[in-house]
Chains A and B, each alone.
Chain A
Amino acid sequence: MSDARDGEPDPFLENAEDDNGVDRSLIRWMLSLTPRERLRVLAAEAAFGVNARVLDEPDSE
């Protein structure tokens, strides 16, 4: 059951994407971080990509 107040859009059903399909809520979240925290997000995403590739190699278990 939605907890949205009368007259306000339901925050879980609201579309965060703009006309180009860009998720503005992600941008706002990034802007809420410090630049160093943003770099850490970048590093974590890169590490995730490397780890995913390793798991995809045939001899990895």
Chain B
Amino acid sequence: MTAPFDPDRLLDVLLAHQVEFIIVGASAAVLQGAPVRTADLDIVHLRTDVNVARLLAALQSIDAHARLRPDRRIAPSASHLLGEGHILLSTALGPLDVLGTLEPGVGYAELLPDSVRVELDGRVVRALSLERLIRAKRAANRAKDLAVLPVLEATLDEVRKRK
């Protein structure tokens, strides 16, 4: 049985372990007001030894293991998290995708200028901006990414109207 998706508590765990990360994907869009759906949390993390150690501790606390091999319950290692790949995990708080890079060569440091601060009851997380999310979806050029573009663009338009 898959654990229910609880993005709120997933973020709390990452913050409690002082992990530096940027939320990307549909969850980032939701945080900024887009009415889109997803069943996982995608993050791009800072790939330094210190941050990876914090992330590893956070993942251990929520029993993270490889989502594609649930029968073997393979836990991620520091070497996995230091790489550029996409680590797809099942956790006690639902699916979590830990991405070394969003696109080839585009990791935490490259995305940071395109991220926005989002306050969650006094705690701050970083999410990829709607503008950058739209660019990423366009570049990906897959049917599932293109399908969500009108909603992201309309959300960006509504956000701008409010400023």
A interface residues, Cβ below 8 angstroms from B? 18, 20-24, 26-31, 33-36, 38-43, 45-47, 49-50
Please state if B37 and A42 are interface contacts (CB–CB under 8 Å): yes
Given contacts A35-B118, A35-B120, A36-B121, contact A26 B35 (CB under 8 A): yes
The chain B residue sitting closest to A40, CB to CB, is B8
Please state if A39 and B31 are interface contacts (CB–CB under 8 Å): yes
For the complex with contacts A22-B154, A23-B35, A31-B155, 17 further pairs of A-B residues with Cβ separation under 8 Å are A18-B154, A27-B35, A27-B158, A30-B34, A30-B155, A31-B162, A36-B121, A38-B33, A39-B27, A39-B31, A39-B120, A40-B8, A42-B7, A43-B7, A46-B37, A47-B4, A49-B39
Rounded to whole angstroms, the CA-CA distance of A38 and B94 in the bound complex is 17
Please state if A27 and B154 are interface contacts (CB–CB under 8 Å): yes
Name which of B30, B35, B150, B159 has the most chain A CB atoms within 10 A of its CB.
B35
Please state if A41 and B30 are interface contacts (CB–CB under 8 Å): yes
Rounded to whole angstroms, the CA-CA distance of A21 and B162 in the bound complex is 21
Interface size on B, residues (CB 8 A): 30
B interface residues, Cβ below 8 angstroms from A? 2, 4-8, 11, 27, 30-35, 37-39, 94, 118-121, 150-151, 153-155, 158-159, 162
Please state if B6 and A43 are interface contacts (CB–CB under 8 Å): yes
In the complex, what residues of A have CB within 8 A of residue B39's CB?
A: 46, 49-50
Say how far A59's CB is from chain B's closest CB, in angstroms.
14
Offer 23 A-B interface pairs, CB within 8 angstroms, sorted by A: A20-B153, A21-B150, A22-B151, A23-B35, A24-B154, A26-B35, A27-B158, A28-B158, A29-B35, A30-B35, A30-B155, A31-B33, A35-B32, A35-B120, A36-B8, A36-B120, A38-B31, A38-B33, A40-B8, A42-B37, A45-B37, A46-B94, A50-B5
Please state if A35 and B31 are interface contacts (CB–CB under 8 Å): yes
Please state if B37 and A43 are interface contacts (CB–CB under 8 Å): no
Given contacts A40-B8, A46-B4, contact A22 B118 (CB under 8 A): no
Please state if B37 and A39 are interface contacts (CB–CB under 8 Å): no
Say how far A28's CB is from chain B's closest CB, in angstroms.
6
